[in-house]
């Protein structure tokens, strides 16, 4: 009985839906990267943390990466500022994004150890795998 109660509460805490899928894209003018569909409770905790800037820098990274078009580019961290809004997080680079280059966004936002299906199949992960999205400017 205790196992059933624990599994039920774990399932409710790790449920996944399309609403939890992050949307990571360039802004309309490609000057910033916008992350939307962030878990509201997590975003509120992030805003109220003692050092939100350092926490954000650990949760979101943007890398310039080599591409098939230009392999001479070295993978490098893109310096910039991360700003939190009411429903989104915005990454503003110190230097403008270069047209034609690839940028890899790595984030731990909305990441969970497992969803209800993985719990039922006993396929929970023991590590948190970040979400990665490749954007081409």
Q: Where are the domains of the chain?
A: 2-136
Distance between CA atoms of residues 55 and 52, nearest Å: 5
Assess whether pLDDT exceeds 70 at residue 106: yes
Domain 2-136 CATH class label: mainly beta
More reliable by pLDDT, 33 or 21: 33
Read off the pLDDT band of 29 (50, 70, 90): very high
Report residue 78 as tokens: 């893109």
Assess whether pLDDT exceeds 50 at residue 10: no
Q: What single DSSP character describes residue 110?
A: T
Q: Length of the chain in residues, anyone?
A: 137
| 93 contacts 77 by C-beta, under 8 angstroms | no
Q: What are 18-21's contacts with CB under 8 Å, separation 24+?
A: 20/110, 20/112, 21/110
Q: What are 24-29's contacts with CB under 8 Å, separation 24+?
A: 24/105, 24/107, 24/131, 24/133, 24/135, 25/135, 26/97, 26/135, 26/137, 27/90
Query: Token match 């310096």: residue?
Result: 79
């Amino acid at each position: 009985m205790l196992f059933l109660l624990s599994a039920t509460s774990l399932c409710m805490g790790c449920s996944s839906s399309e609403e939890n899928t992050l949307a990571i894209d360039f802004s309309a003018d490609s000057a910033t990267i916008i992350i939307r569909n962030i878990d509201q409770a997590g975003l509120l905790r992030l805003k109220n943390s003692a050092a939100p800037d350092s926490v954000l820098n650990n949760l979101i990274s943007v890398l310039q990466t080599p591409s098939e078009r230009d392999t001479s580019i070295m993978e490098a961290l893109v310096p910039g500022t991360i700003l939190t809004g009411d429903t989104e997080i915005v990454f503003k680079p110190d230097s403008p994004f270069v047209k034609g280059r690839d940028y890899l966004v790595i984030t731990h936002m909305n990441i969970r150890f497992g969803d209800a299906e993985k719990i039922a199949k006993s396929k929970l992960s023991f590590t948190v795998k970040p979400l990665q999205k490749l954007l081409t400017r």
